[in-house]
């Protein structure tokens, strides 16, 4: 394996030493560019109480290009599709090398608090979110309970 | 409320405006000066290119000023780390106490300028590589006063342009014509910048990155990995790693035709309890495949039975199936 850039090592160590509350990111034992991630659902959101597993991969030219991040746990959210792909500008055209693993994950956690049905990735979810928000929120809570909670 | 302004304040404000001219902003409430704001730079004569740090000084005048201390805030520090800011702030507090009863803004500007002149080398790190700036490094200050190793900024600008081109080519022709031209931006604040990438790109990589020992698995890192593995195992054991070992759906993994072939030959349609094992295999085999991790083409991927989406009576799924 090619030498791991020191930036990735620094980020990894800081993630361990100063973890972000509600977020854990753990590099795989076999590939230091692949992280197992758990993001807790933010308080006062329909995802509260849920533990959402994600995978994060740092591509070869990281930090010049964005990490690849995907939800593994099912989630009912207008900006996350059924394959777990996330619609978030900083993962695409708004990526900047000044961002880090921790800031990306914080942004994803913030996206859970602030769904944006006007820029949807999951069309059916976004549609319901717009026409009947309370039912959409009920669905999101139900999915959280069913898929993202213990037992 | 009386609008008579203390003569000492009037004199001070007049003097500030006369000397700093456009570089000072006086915000007034009615006729009464309220906030004095100015950006302080190190003294480098007229050589603006040699000013690598700056900070905005904001002085909010209190009703009793100058017999009471004004509220002083430092904003938008550039190239200054927290330690240096703390030092300057404590010196400001001392100065405010010493100068009670007399106008203090000029004194503050001088005090800050002295500090900046002494530390006119960006402290902190280059946010692109996370290395500091040391003797021998070639670095650049953007128009927005952010600092990067020239080498690092070049990599960013080259990657940014490449991304722009790739995205542009995806657009239909008529949209390509209308697309705004490529604009270099600062990685920190996204302000437009204009840099000569070719010149930047001739700069050597950061000194610390050359002298740093090559990466090897230190005991510390091994220890960290062990802790991580334990943590993960615990989470799996108690079902905390969701989607695994319960009746919920398997992880949703984007598949490609190549994966389907793998599946056909390997027959890996195991139960969801095996996901962790498969995960590990996948990571192992992907260590050299960094090109398209979002849609792995060469790793064996878990393809458990897809269930769950229709359990709640949702309409049949459309688009790609997540086998």
Write the pLDDT tens digit of every residue in B163-188. 999 999 999 988 888 888 999 999 99
Q: Which of B40-49, B139-148, B254-263 has the lowest mean pLDDT?
A: B254-263
The answer to whether A93 contacts B231, with C-beta atoms less than 8 Å apart, is no
For chain A, how many residues are written?
151
In B80-119, the residues whose Cβ lies within 8 Å of chain A are: none
Partners of B185 in the β-ladder: B192
A31: pLDDT confidence band, cut at 50, 70 and 90? Answer: confident
How confident is the model at residue B225, as a pLDDT?
67
**Which residues does chain B have within 8 Å of residue A16's beta carbon, measured at their own beta carbons?**
224, 227-228
How confident is the model at residue B310, as a pLDDT?
39
Tell me whether A52 touches chain B (CB under 8 Å): yes
**Which residues does chain A have within 8 Å of residue B167's beta carbon, measured at their own beta carbons?**
93
How many residue pairs from chains A and B have C-beta atoms closer than 8 A? 149
How confident is the model at residue B242, as a pLDDT?
46
B276 and B241 Cβ atoms separated by less than 8 Å = yes
3-state helix, strand, coil in chain A (%, to 5): 35, 20, 45
CA A70 from centroid of its chain's CA atoms: 6
Most confident of A85-99, A114-128, B214-228, B299-313: A85-99
The answer to whether B156 contacts A93, with C-beta atoms less than 8 Å apart, is no
Tell me whether B241 touches chain A (CB under 8 Å): yes
ipTM of the complex: 0.80
Task: Determine the average pLDDT of the residues in A101-129.
Answer: 91
CB count, 10 Å around CB of B20? 17
The yes-or-no verdict on residue B255 having pLDDT over 80 is no
> Can you tell me the distance from the alpha carbon of B125 to that of B121, in angstroms, rounded to the nearest whole number?
11
**Closest residue by Cα to residue B5 from B25, B33, B29:** B33
In B254-293, the residues whose Cβ lies within 8 Å of chain A are: 254, 279-280, 283-284, 286-288, 290-291, 293
A115: pLDDT confidence band, cut at 50, 70 and 90? Answer: very high
CATH 3.10.110.10 applies to domain A6-147: yes
What would the two tokens of residue A131 be?
């026409």
Tell me what percent of the residues of chain A surpass a pLDDT of 70: 97
The yes-or-no verdict on residue B89 having pLDDT over 60 is yes
Chain B: residue nearest A96 by CA?
Answer: B187
How confident is the model at residue B213, as a pLDDT?
63
Task: Determine the average pLDDT of the residues in B230-243.
Answer: 57
Task: Determine the average pLDDT of the residues in B110-118.
Answer: 88
> Can you tell me the distance from the alpha carbon of B245 to that of A28, in angstroms, rounded to the nearest whole number?
20
Q: Which of A106-115, A117-126, B140-149, B277-286 has the lowest mean pLDDT?
A: B277-286
The answer to whether B242 contacts A147, with C-beta atoms less than 8 Å apart, is yes
Higher pLDDT among residues B183 and A29, named by residue: B183
Q: Can you tell me which residue has the tokens 């000044």? A: A98
Higher pLDDT among residues A46 and B309, named by residue: A46
How confident is the model at residue A26, as a pLDDT?
83
Is A87 among the residues known to form the active site? yes
**Which residues does chain A have within 8 Å of residue B159's beta carbon, measured at their own beta carbons?**
61, 64-65
Tell me what percent of the residues of chain B surpass a pLDDT of 70: 64
The yes-or-no verdict on residue B58 having pLDDT over 80 is yes
Write the pLDDT tens digit of every residue in A13-25. 888 888 888 998 8
Q: Can you tell me which residue has the tokens 């959402």? A: A52
B214 closest CB neighbour out of A3, A57, A147: A3
- Which residue in the list A23, A69, A87, A122 is annotated as catalytic? A87
> In a 3-state reduction of DSSP, which class is residue B161?
helix
**Which residues does chain A have within 8 Å of residue B320's beta carbon, measured at their own beta carbons?**
83
The yes-or-no verdict on residue B247 having pLDDT over 70 is no
How confident is the model at residue B137, as a pLDDT?
86
A133 and A119 Cβ atoms separated by less than 8 Å = no
Q: Can you tell me which residue has the tokens 């070049």? A: B154
**Strand order across the beta sheet in which B71-78 lies:** B24-29, B32-40, B54-60, B71-78
**Closest residue by Cα to residue B249 from B318, B294, B312, B315:** B312
The answer to whether A29 contacts B317, with C-beta atoms less than 8 Å apart, is no
> Can you tell me the distance from the alpha carbon of A21 to that of A73, in angstroms, rounded to the nearest whole number?
19
Distance from CA of B245 to the nearest CA of A (A): 10
| Crossing angle of the two packed helices A6-17 and B219-237, in degrees rounded to 10 | 60
Task: Determine the average pLDDT of the residues in B132-146.
Answer: 85
Compute the mean pLDDT over every residue in chain B, rounded to the nearest whole number: 73
Tell me what percent of the residues of chain B surpass a pLDDT of 90: 23
| H/E element, B33 | strand B32-40
Task: Determine the average pLDDT of the residues in B85-107.
Answer: 91
Higher pLDDT among residues B323 and B28, named by residue: B28
Phi, psi of B116 (to 5 degrees): -65, -40
Tell me whether B56 touches chain A (CB under 8 Å): no
B118: pLDDT confidence band, cut at 50, 70 and 90? Answer: confident
Mutate to test the interface with A, among B201, B283, B289 (most CBs of A within 10 A): B283
Domain residue spans of chain A: 6-147
In B134-153, the residues whose Cβ lies within 8 Å of chain A are: 152
| H/E element, A26 | strand A23-27
Task: Determine the average pLDDT of the residues in A76-95.
Answer: 90
Higher pLDDT among residues B280 and A117, named by residue: A117
The answer to whether B287 contacts A33, with C-beta atoms less than 8 Å apart, is yes
> Can you tell me the distance from the alpha carbon of A85 to that of A75, in angstroms, rounded to the nearest whole number?
11
């Amino acid at each position: 394996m090619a030498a791991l850039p020191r930036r990735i090592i620094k980020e990894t160590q800081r993630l361990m030493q100063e973890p972000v509350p509600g977020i854990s990111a753990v590099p795989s034992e076999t590939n230091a560019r692949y992280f197992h991630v758990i993001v807790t659902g933010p308080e006062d959101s329909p995802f509260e109480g849920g533990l959402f597993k994600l995978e994060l991969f740092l591509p070869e030219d990281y930090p010049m290009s964005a990490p690849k991040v995907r939800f593994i746990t099912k989630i009912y959210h207008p900006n996350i599709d059924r394959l777990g792909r996330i619609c978030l500008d900083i993962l695409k055209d708004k990526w900047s090398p000044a961002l880090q693993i921790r800031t990306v994950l914080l942004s994803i956690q913030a996206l859970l608090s602030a769904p944006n049905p006007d820029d949807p990735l999951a069309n059916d979810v976004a549609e319901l979110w717009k026409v009947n928000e309370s039912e959409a929120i009920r669905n999101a809570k139900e999915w959280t309970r069913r898929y993202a909670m213990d037992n | 409320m009386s609008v008579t302004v203390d003569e000492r304040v009037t004199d001070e404000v007049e003097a500030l405006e006369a000397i700093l001219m456009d570089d000072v902003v006086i915000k007034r409430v009615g006729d009464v000066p309220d906030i004095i704001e100015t950006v302080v730079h190190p003294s480098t004569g007229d050589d603006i290119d040699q000013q690598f740090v700056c900070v905005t000084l904001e002085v909010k005048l209190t009703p009793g000023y100058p017999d009471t201390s004004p509220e002083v805030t430092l904003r938008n520090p550039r190239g200054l780390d927290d330690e240096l800011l703390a030092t300057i702030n404590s010196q400001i507090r001392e100065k405010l106490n010493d100068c009670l009863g007399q106008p203090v803004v000029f004194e503050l500007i001088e005090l800050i300028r002295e500090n900046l002149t002494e530390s006119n080398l960006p402290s902190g790190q280059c946010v692109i590589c996370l290395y500091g700036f040391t003797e021998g490094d070639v670095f650049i200050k953007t128009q927005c006063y952010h600092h990067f190793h020239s080498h690092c900024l070049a990599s960013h600008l080259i990657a940014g342009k490449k991304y722009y081109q790739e995205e542009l080519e995806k657009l239909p022709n008529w949209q390509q014509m209308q697309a705004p031209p490529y604009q270099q931006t600062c990685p920190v604040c996204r302000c437009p910048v204009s840099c000569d990438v070719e010149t930047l790109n001739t700069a050597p990589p950061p000194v610390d990155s050359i002298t740093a020992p090559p990466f090897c698995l230190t005991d510390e890192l091994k220890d960290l990995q062990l802790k991580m593995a334990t943590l993960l195992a615990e989470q799996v054991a108690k079902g905390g790693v969701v989607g695994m070992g319960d009746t919920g759906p398997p992880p949703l993994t984007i598949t490609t035709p190549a994966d389907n072939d793998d599946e056909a030959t390997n027959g890996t349609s195991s139960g969801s309890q095996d996901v962790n094992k498969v995960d590990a295999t996948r990571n192992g085999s992907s260590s050299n495949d960094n090109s398209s991790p979002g849609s792995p083409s060469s790793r064996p991927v878990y393809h458990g039975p897809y269930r769950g989406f229709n359990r709640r009576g949702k309409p049949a799924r459309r688009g790609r199936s997540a086998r």
